[in-house]
Amino acid sequence: MPEPLDPEMFDPVCPSVLMPFRVGDKWAGMIVQCLAAGPRRFSELRVPLRTITPKVLTQSLRTLERDGFVVRTVLTGSARHVEYELTPLGRSLLDLLDTARAWAQAHMDELIDAREAASRGNHAR
């Protein structure tokens, strides 16, 4: 069993919307990161992704499953539960996401400046 997910895994003030490209939807990259250490239950994913609604998390997981990045397994026993795990295709995203995150961190000030300038420009119209 992997270590519990860190509730502070994703900085709440991190402007993840600044990521210039995404795999799937807004949450997909973070979900993939949460699954990097092994299978997780839905409730475990909600810990670091505390601002996502259950409906949106379900939709994102279904999309990741449809696209072949995640496999959903129903485990039976004394208590039935569901786990989500990266497929080999999903695991192949980890290095790409690490590279993208490093690039975004290196260019964060430029990304923020560009978004703020565009926002000011849109309000002036």
The answer to whether residues 63 and 24 touch, using CB atoms and an 8 Å cutoff, is yes
Average pLDDT, integer, range 10-36: 72
CATH number for the domain running over 16-120: 1.10.10.10
The token pair at 31 is 């979900």
For residues 125 and 25, the model is more confident at 25
Domain boundaries in the chain? 16-120
Q: Which of 51, 53, 31 is nearest to 40 (CA)?
A: 31
Q: What is the pTM of this model?
A: 0.76
CA atoms lying within 13 Å on the CB side of residue 98: 6
Render pLDDT for 28-81 as a digit per residue (tens, 0 to 9). 999 999 999 999 999 999 999 988 999 999 999 999 999 899 999 999 888 889
Residues 7, 30, 59: CA angle, nearest 5 degrees:
105
The token pair at 39 is 């299978």
